[in-house]
């Protein structure tokens, strides 16, 4: 996604704005409903939220915190931009655990009762 050069992390406001816009569009879509959702989350103006979705600029401060509170996609992209991928991985563990549990239950259902448990 973003190139890393040595110890310097080249991130610009343009890269930030486009990354957040992409995350928001993936999660909310590109409709008037997305604008209304962002406005409800942040109390920002319609023009401001349109600019965020267009990648013209990105939210900052309290607006960013409110968006991260509601949007896992934005939370993850901000952590990636901050080079905190390990925190992203930790945040994904509960969902992964749930999927693994569901998968194990499906496997058990397909296999049926164990012959060993029937004889005990």
Relative orientation angle of helices 85-111 and 72-81, to the nearest 10 degrees = 130
pLDDT at 112: 84
pLDDT at 6: 57
pLDDT at 58: 95
Task: Phi first, then psi: give them for residue 29, nearest 5 degrees.
Answer: 85, 180
How far apart, in whole angstroms, are the C-alpha atoms of residue 62 and residue 42?
8
pLDDT at 8: 58
User: What residues contact 44, with CB distance under 8 A and at least 6 apart?
Assistant: 38, 52, 59, 63
pTM of the model: 0.69
pLDDT at 4: 55
pLDDT at 3: 55
How far apart, in whole angstroms, are the C-alpha atoms of residue 56 and residue 58?
7
pLDDT at 11: 82
Intervals of the chain under pLDDT 50: none
Tokens of residue 104, six digits: 């194990």
pLDDT at 90: 82
pLDDT at 53: 96
Tokens of residue 63, six digits: 């607006």
Summary count for the chain: helices (H), strands (E): 7, 0
């Amino acid at each position: 996604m973003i190139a890393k050069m040595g110890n310097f992390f080249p991130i610009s406001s343009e890269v930030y704005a486009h990354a957040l816009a992409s995350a928001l569009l993936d999660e909310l879509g590109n409709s008037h409903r997305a604008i209304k959702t962002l406005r409800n989350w942040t109390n920002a103006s319609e023009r401001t939220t349109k600019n965020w979705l267009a990648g013209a600029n990105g939210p900052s401060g309290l607006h960013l915190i409110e968006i991260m509170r509601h949007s896992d996609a934005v939370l993850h992209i901000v952590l990636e931009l901050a080079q905190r991928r390990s925190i992203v991985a930790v945040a994904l563990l509960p969902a992964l655990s749930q999927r693994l549990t569901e998968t194990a239950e499906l496997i058990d259902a397909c296999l049926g009762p164990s012959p060993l448990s029937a004889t005990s």
